[in-house]
Structure 1
Amino acid sequence: MIKANGLTKRYGGRTDKTGKTVVDDLTFTVEPGAVTGFLGPNGAGKSTTMRMILGLDAPTAGHVTVGDRDRAYAAHPAPLHEVGALLEARAVHPGRTAHHHLMALAHTHGIPRSRVEHVLDLAGLSDVAGSRVKGFSLGMGQRLGIAAALLGDPATLILDEPVNGLDPEGVLWIRNLLKSLAAEGRTVLVSSHLMSEMALTAERLIIIGRGRLLAETTVADFVRDSGVAAMKVVSPEARTLAALLAGPGIEIAPGAGPDELDVRGVDGEYIGRVAAAHAVPVYELTPRTTSLEQAFMDLTRDEVEYQAGTAHEALTEATA
């Protein structure tokens, strides 16, 4: 597993007022046997945290351990067998072929050629194994980076935006691969901005904002605790029902259809009782639960470092 305890990274001196704390007293555990999504807005400190896990950046304070023996990644005698990582897929000599790139890594750990051929096949790169990396597309580069991460058959995987540049087939491949690796009892930490993909892939979540821990939970609990976004109500007397339901803390908006309402602030039982008491027919009463994307947006709304304007604001400014 991965254990971070009080992990802090500050750029600039401790007394330098111009310094910036990128990761702030971060404590979490990534358990084996599940895909853990590592989420946060741009600038939240995700990549810096991953670099500290791998010993590429030294923490200002705190520490992080990887594996059953509770030691730092750099202390492992054969780190590729312990942790496979993808932080920057393009960190490859462009003049090397895919096969030579993986063989160079394999030689550092005595990994046999058969394993190189296996991960090339697993990543769907066997047909281009002899091609130079400089001619690879973004998606092919991602596949090569994932193959490199799997080369040592590691117990722990740390992947930063692994679906970036992949086509739909590639996205499905990496989703199924990560789930299968977690099912084998491995520790899998995946950073991504694609909430829809995380909803399909991850079981657990670690969410940070401005370097601080915001949530450490399961996907199911996170979405459930965000509550019901709205109740879909369909009634031939929608206007009448809306007037009966109106009250403090209750939001009512027209739905997609002429007889449809979106009602927030009350549950289906309350709506049903009000409708029955006034003999208002109701054809449908369906809870619309919050998506992972919406729950994430609600949690991190005040943690976004770079807040973009809306398209309407941009258009208004342009025509003013």
Structure 2
Amino acid sequence: MIRAQGLTKRYGGGARAKTAVDRLSFEVHPGTVTGFLGPNGAGKSTTMRMLLGLDAPTSGHCTVGGRAYAAHSAPLTEVGALLEARSLHPGRSAYHHLTALAHTHGIPRSRVEHVLATTGLTDVAGRRVKGFSLGMGQRLGIAAALLGDPATLVLDEPVNGLDPEGVLWIRNLLKAQAAEGRTVLVSSHLMSEMAVTADHLIIIGRGRLLADTTVEKFVRESGTGSVKVVSPAAARLAELLAGPGVTIGGDTPGTLEVRGTDAEHIGRTAAAHAIPLFELTPHTASLEQAFMDLTHDSVEYVTPDGAHLEGAAA
């Protein structure tokens, strides 16, 4: 399990001080794929670096498997991490890169061959990595993360540079790792992929926790979904449904688009007043829309016309 308690990271001092992570607390449990989401500049990468002992928190602490990362005697066998896939010697082959890592922990050669096969790199294992495409580099980074058969995986944007087949492969890989009881924390900007890969979400903005919930609950409670209603008494039904937090639209006579309440409430209201319904269709919000609505005020930069831009640092 991963546990962060009151994590805070500040850079600089005085008027130029910047708080990248602000009193952040959360837990990541085994057996689930947990998506770590937030706009660029939200503090995701900084948090991951603190989890892996690469950055020291200003205050607070974090543990992986009950210990600080640096306290693990054989970290590759406890935590598999991918933060920057291209941080490796360009003159080495994929095989020699993994073999060098394996030697530091006494990991057998058979395991190197196994992760090369798992990531689809067997045929290019002898090639120098400086000639690898972005997708191949990602696969090699994932192979390194899997090398020690760790109980915990921490992956920052693992699908970056992968083609559709590669995206499907990493999705199935992460689900399989979680199904085996591993703790899986993965960040991504691809909301459509997180919607079908993650079980749980931790969402941060400006370094603070915004949501810690399941994907299903987050989307259901986002308030961005709507219900299509078709009735010959649509105007009367609209009057009955009107209230705080409820918005009702519709461009076609006899059709309503209702937000802020659910299909059950609409159906019960119609039944109580003997209003016939020809259609009652809920439209669930997408994870992307729910995420955008939640983080709307947490993006770091805004253009003069009011459009929000993501920050340059995570």
TM-score, normalised with respect to structure 2: 0.89
Write the mapping of 1:1-320 to structure 2, written as runs, cut at 5 A: 1-13=1-13, 16-67=14-65, 70-227=66-223, 229-235=225-231, 237=232, 241-242=234-235, 244-246=237-239, 247-249=242-244, 250-254=246-250, 260-269=255-264, 271-272=266-267, 282-308=277-303
SS of match in other structure, 1:193: coil
Percent identical pairs in the alignment equals 74
1: CA distance, partners of 2:230 / 2:237:
15
CA offset digits 1:147-189 (Å, max 9, x no partner): 0100111111000000111111111111111111111111110
On the 8 A contact 2:235/2:254 being kept in 1, the answer is no
Counterpart Cα distance in 2 of 1:88 and 1:312? 30
Q: Is 166-175 or 211-220 further displaced after alignment?
A: 211-220
Distance 1:277 1:52 in 2: 56
Task: Give the distance between the partners of 1:188 and 1:312, measured in 2 at CA.
Answer: 34
Q: How many residues align?
A: 305
Cα deviations across residues 230-258 of structure 1 (Å, max 9, x unaligned)?
A: 111235x5xx6246515454433336x88
- Shift of residue 276 of structure 1? 6.3
Q: Provide closer, same or farther for how the CA distance between residues 74 and 269 of structure 1 changes in structure 2, counting only shifts above 3 A.
A: closer
Q: TM-score if structure 1 supplies the norm length?
A: 0.87
Q: Distance in 2 between matches of 1:306 and 1:191?
A: 21
Distance 1:172 1:18, change over 3 A: same
Equivalent AA in structure 2 for residue 168 of structure 1: P
Cα 1:211–1:121 shift into 2, 3 Å: same
| Equivalent residues of 1:230, 1:263 under 8 A apart | yes
CA deviation after TM superposition for structure 1 residue 204, in Å: 1.1
Q: Is the 8 A contact 1:138 1:166 kept in 2?
A: yes
1:121 aligns to what SS in structure 2? helix
Partner SS, residue 15 of structure 2: coil
Residues 227 and 289 of structure 1 are in contact (CA less than 8 Å); yes or no, is this contact kept in structure 2?
A: no
Contact 1:233 1:260 in 2 (8 A): yes
Larger mean Cα displacement after TM superposition, 185-194 or 294-303? 294-303
Letter in 1 for 2:27: T
User: Is the CA contact 1:139–1:164 (under 8 Å) kept in the aligned structure 2?
Assistant: yes
Distance change (3 Å), C-alpha of 1:272 and 1:63: closer
Q: CA RMSD in A?
A: 2.4
Q: Hey, what's the Cα distance between the residues in 2 that align with 1:113 and 1:187?
A: 25
**More divergent stretch after superposition (240-249 vs 157-166):** 240-249
